[in-house]
């Protein structure tokens, strides 16, 4: 890098193919690289309400240095896909991008900013702490392989929920969930449906999910009455009985979620962990954690 000033350019000035290429270049040496093609990045932008006018590419002259994106929803913003090209790291590019996004969020009157960082990504974690973000929770990325034998469904009254009914349930207050799991994500997604379960002892709860071509993903769930582990085991048994050949990916489940034992019992394995961090305070309508959404200090 030269001493020339870093310029921050809105991502809207680039094509989706260019953004995909920049993003992938910033991740080539990551332990969990998570590359994307243009179609996948476009879906990511749409599902997570990424605002391309207020997201940024860092440049120096004609040289691309990095990228970072800003999701914008009512009363909150989210920083995601931050990446700096390997040969330009430690030159202030990440800090410039982050500062630019925080300023852009403030211009949009979003003073509450959320993000997640992969656990053990020390340089990024340290940068976020220096910029004033605080840790609010530890999140799990779980998977369940499709080769597992389908479970026997637990005896229960299981009602399928069509998209509209499913979304109605997720729209009820579920506290300040991680961005990826918020109601808006499910509203933006296709092929969303759900399952309402009532067990013989009147325990009950629901699960809403997205069914993609090869995967089940984007879970939202709640135990209305009863033991969360029992209710979760029941809805998962019905789900995986119904879709035995689909891979399942569960993003950002909180480590203290009382439903978690049921997921492990159903064959889910931990892929990796993230730390969730916040800058500012959530607006009152989001700051209503209930049960499983109560945050803990990370380990």
Partner 1 sequence: MIKILLVEDMPDTVELVRRALSTYDYEVVHAPDAETGLELALEQRPSLILLDLGLPDYDGQTLAGWLRAESALADTPIIAFTAWPQETARKMVESYGCNGYIQKPILKVRDFVDQIESFIKAQ
Q: In degrees, to the nearest 5, what angle opens at C-alpha 221 toward C-alphas 220 and 223?
A: 165
Q: Which of residues 114-173 bind partner 1 (CB under 8 A)?
A: 143, 145-147
Least CB distance from residue 122 to partner 1, whole Å? 15
Contact 114, 277 (CB under 8 A): yes
Q: How far is CA 261 from CA 36, 38, 114, 233, 236, in A?
A: 31, 36, 27, 9, 12
74 binds partner 1 (CB under 8 A): no
Name the one range near partner 1 by CB under 8 A: 6-14, 32-40, 47-55, 100-108: 32-40
34 binds partner 1 (CB under 8 A): yes
13 binds partner 1 (CB under 8 A): no
Name which of 170 and 249 has its Cβ closer to partner 1: 249
Name which of 172 and 245 has its Cβ closer to partner 1: 245
Count of residues engaged in binding partner 1, rule: CB under 8 A: 25
Question: How many secondary structure helices (H) and strands (E) does the chain include?
Answer: 8, 12
Q: Which of residues 86-115 bind partner 1 (CB under 8 A)?
A: none
Least CB distance from residue 125 to partner 1, whole Å? 17
Q: Which of residues 227-246 bind partner 1 (CB under 8 A)?
A: 245
Please count the other Cβ atoms lying within 10 Å of the Cβ belonging to residue 276: 23
Name the one range near partner 1 by CB under 8 A: 9-17, 30-38, 251-259, 277-285: 30-38
Name which of 175 and 267 has its Cβ closer to partner 1: 267
Residue 195: which of 149, 241, 152 has the closest Cα?
241
Distance CA 234, CA 199 (A): 8
31 binds partner 1 (CB under 8 A): yes
28 binds partner 1 (CB under 8 A): yes
**Which residues have C-beta within 8 Å of that of residue 73, sequence separation ≥ 6?**
49, 179, 182, 184
55 class by beta-carbon count within 10 Å (0-12 exposed, 13-18 middle, 19+ buried): buried
């Amino acid at each position: 890098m030269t001493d020339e000033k870093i310029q921050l350019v809105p991502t809207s000035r680039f094509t989706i193919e260019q953004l995909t290429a920049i993003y992938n270049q910033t991740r080539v040496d990551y332990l969990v690289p998570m590359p994307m093609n243009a179609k996948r990045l476009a879906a990511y932008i749409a599902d997570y309400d990424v605002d391309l006018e207020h997201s940024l590419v860092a440049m120096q002259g004609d040289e691309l240095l990095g990228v970072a994106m800003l999701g914008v929803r009512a009363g909150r913003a989210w920083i995601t896909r931050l990446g700096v090209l390997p040969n330009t790291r430690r030159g202030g590019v990440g800090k410039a991008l982050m500062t630019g996004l925080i300023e852009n969020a403030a211009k949009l009157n979003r003073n509450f900013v959320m993000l997640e960082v992969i656990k053990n990504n020390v340089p990024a974690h340290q940068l976020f702490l220096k910029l004033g973000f605080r840790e609010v929770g530890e999140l799990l990325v779980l998977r369940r392989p499709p080769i597992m034998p389908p479970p026997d469904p637990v005896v229960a009254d299981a009602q399928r929920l069509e998209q509209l009914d499913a979304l109605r349930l997720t729209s009820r207050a579920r506290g300040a969930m991680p961005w990826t799991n918020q109601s808006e994500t499910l509203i933006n997604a296709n092929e969303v449906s759900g399952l309402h379960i009532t067990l013989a002892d009147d325990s009950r709860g629901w699960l809403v999910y997205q069914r993609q071509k090869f995967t089940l993903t984007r879970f939202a769930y709640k135990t209305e009455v009863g033991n969360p582990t029992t209710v979760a085991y029941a809805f998962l048994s019905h789900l995986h009985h119904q879709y035995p050949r689909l891979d399942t990916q569960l993003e950002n489940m909180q480590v203290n979620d009382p439903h978690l034992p049921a997921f492990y019992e159903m064959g889910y394995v931990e892929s990796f962990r993230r730390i969730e961090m916040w800058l500012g305070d959530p607006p009152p309508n989001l700051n209503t954690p209930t049960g499983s959404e109560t945050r803990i200090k990370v380990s």
